[in-house]
Amino acid sequence: MNKVIFNQHYSRLLFLALATAFVWMQSACKKEVTEGAPVITSVRNYAASPADTLVNDITTGQWVVLIGHNLKNAVQISFNGIPATINSTMFSDTSATVLVPAVIPFPSVSPADLNTIRYVTRQGATTFTFDIVAPPPTITSISNENANEGDSVYIYGLNLFFISELTFAGTSITDYTTAGDGTAIGFVLPALTQGGPVAVSTKSGRATTPFNVNDATTGVLCDFDKINTFSWGTGIDNSSATFPGNRGNYAVLSNDVLPAGDGTWWGWQRSINTNDVQWIPADSLSLPLDDYAIKFEINVPSTWTGTSIYIIKGYSFDYMARYEPWQGANGTVSPFVTKGWRTVTIPLSMFRSNDGKGSAPANLTGLLGATATGAVNIQTKNFSALPSASGLQAAIDNIRVVKIK
């Protein structure tokens, strides 16, 4: 009888041991499958169906979905050797959604990294060969659209490498330097004979600005010379001693350190106010708000870290655009100096309610009114609850509104 009981007890123990071993083996197999080295098998476009198709090549700034196995827990994903930003919530074991870096310095990519996707997890790494192509160039800004012969000019954008042709206002530029990451081109401006766009041709395509440079008439509202609609607020000067590189007359904004909340814009040299002008053609009011921008050239010879410049239309504070180039991200402040004249571009979509911090107008009519006419008011204020960190001395010229799209 004891023998039978012992055998039954032994059998149960043996069964439990075998069951435990089987579960452990299953777990180990599963772990081996799900936590092995990553594998990439294909790449999809990240878009709603039916655009979420497999692709044969990708480009900078493109959202893609990497398809494969063991793709969880990525610690680094690189395209042509350039790390991408990782968002773990967009990963699963079989797919990873990632944004290809916007800037890849194609000319300096090593042959070993060219056309590769490198995927690294805590369990291993893989390199997937895949065509990564440079997209057409884009132009985002120009340091000085109304520069003089002999001035240094910089064109900013993306993919500005492998350049085959560069023109500025119709004049060919053959002597230039490029940033290694393709974000800038620099050159000394030759003599110009006309106004016109900026155009850059590369191996990947061509970019042309929708606006002209070296253009003294298109969209100009006040240049303090031939188109002089200035009314009051400050003095007009043409001296090259304080603000060298000028083209004729300009207006000067100037103030010392301002008390907290000081908005007495009507004080001497605290504002530039024009007569009523036509901001845009009335028949263009149906266009999108961000199709237009207000532009001007500015010269700030000494450190500026506090006073705010803002722009309104027709003395109305319903919407304003604030220009605070010393204001960095997260409230940081960086001293601002121009070292000559620089072009400021403020899209009309940047005009906001609530002292420039609220919502944008619904459309151009909401900002400019039914006729798109009214004064241009460029004024200064200390919006801070503390005294301004600095005063301001700046010259402004060539106030204009032009199409940027």
Mode of pairing for the β-strands spanning 184-188 and 39-45: unpaired
How far, in Å, CA of 198 to CA of 220, rounded?
18
Which of 294, 282, 287 has its CA nearest to residue 351? 294
* Domains and their CATH numbers in the chain: 39-133 (2.60.40.10), 138-208 (2.60.40.10), 220-403 (2.60.120)
pLDDT given for residue 89 in this prediction: 73
pLDDT given for residue 94 in this prediction: 96
| Cβ neighbours for 347, distance < 8 A, ≥ 6 positions apart | 289, 290, 292, 293, 404
pLDDT given for residue 21 in this prediction: 45
| Cβ neighbours for 99, distance < 8 A, ≥ 6 positions apart | 61, 62, 63, 64, 84, 85
pLDDT given for residue 212 in this prediction: 98
Whether the CB-CB separation of 119 and 314 falls below 8 Å is answered with no
Tell me the chain's radius of gyration from C-alpha atoms.
30
pLDDT tens column, 274-293 = 999 999 999 999 999 999 99
Instruction: Tell me the one-letter amino acid at 98.
Output: V
pLDDT tens column, 182-224 = 999 999 999 999 999 999 999 999 999 999 999 999 999 999 9
Retrieve residue 98's tokens: 């990632």
**pLDDT(144) > 50:** yes
pLDDT given for residue 49 in this prediction: 78
**pLDDT(19) > 70:** no
pLDDT given for residue 196 in this prediction: 98
Which of 327, 294, 328 has its CA nearest to residue 312? 294
What is the average pLDDT across 92-117? 95
How far, in Å, CA of 333 to CA of 327, rounded?
5
Percentage of residues in the chain having pLDDT higher than 70: 91
Reduced to 3 states (helix: H, G, I; strand: E, B; else coil), residue 316 is strand
pLDDT given for residue 330 in this prediction: 81
Retrieve residue 193's tokens: 């004979």
Retrieve residue 2's tokens: 């004891």
Query: Among 4-8, 9-13, 213-217, 401-405, which is the least confidently predicted range?
Result: 4-8
Instruction: Tell me the one-letter amino acid at 215.
Output: D
State the chain's mean pLDDT as an integer.
91
Cα 206 vs. chain centroid, distance in angstroms? 20
pLDDT given for residue 269 in this prediction: 98
pLDDT given for residue 6 in this prediction: 36
Give 28's pLDDT tier (boundaries 50, 70, 90). very low
pLDDT tens column, 347-401 = 999 999 999 999 999 999 999 999 999 999 999 999 999 999 999 999 999 999 9
Instruction: Indicate left, alpha or beta for 269 from its phi (over 0: left) and psi (-120 to 50: alpha).
Output: left
Give 7's pLDDT tier (boundaries 50, 70, 90). very low
pLDDT given for residue 335 in this prediction: 94
**pLDDT(132) > 50:** yes
pLDDT given for residue 88 in this prediction: 78
Whether the CB-CB separation of 376 and 221 falls below 8 Å is answered with yes
**pLDDT(11) > 70:** no
